[in-house]
Amino acid sequence: LNLSPKKAARIMEKVVKSAVANAEVSPEIEDVDALYIKSVYVDSGPMWKRVRPRAMGRAYLIRKRTSHITVVLDEKRKEV
């Protein structure tokens, strides 16, 4: 992610680092080094609505979209 020039890559990198930091604090996770990303999904979030004036007194609705990013981590178990 840190080699990608896309803006979303920076945001996703922060979210993954945050998920790992949360897992370090969690008492259920024993080995942080054994974590892997099980799934990542992005859902639509609240939409900010703005009005932009247009010709002849009309108004145009601008939708500023947001999203919710969810990262699910899981721990690789060593088989005995």
Q: Smallest Cα–Cα separation from 22: which of 13, 37, 11, 32?
A: 32
71 in a domain, yes or no? yes
Residue 16, amino acid: V
Region 7-22: mean pLDDT is 93
Q: How far apart are CA 72 and CA 19, in angstroms?
A: 8
Decide if 80 is inside a domain: no
pLDDT tens, residue by residue, 28-61: 888 888 899 999 999 999 999 999 999 999 999 9
Domain annotation covers residue 68? yes
Whole-prediction pTM value? 0.74
Asked if residues 28 and 47 have their Cβ atoms less than 8 Å apart, the reply is no
Q: Decide if 14 is inside a domain.
A: yes
Q: Measure the CA–CA gap between 36 and 55, rounded to whole angstroms.
A: 53
Q: How many CB atoms lie within 10 A of CB 71?
A: 19
Q: How confident is the model at residue 27 (pLDDT cuts 50, 70, 90)?
A: confident
User: How many domains does the chain contain in total?
Assistant: 1
Give domain status of residue 2, yes or no: no
Q: Is residue 29 assigned to a domain? A: yes
CATH number for the domain that contains residue 44: 3.90.470.10
Does the pLDDT value for residue 78 go beyond 80?
Answer: no
Name the residue range of residue 30's domain: 7-75
Question: What pLDDT, on the 0 to 100 scale, is given for residue 42?
Answer: 94
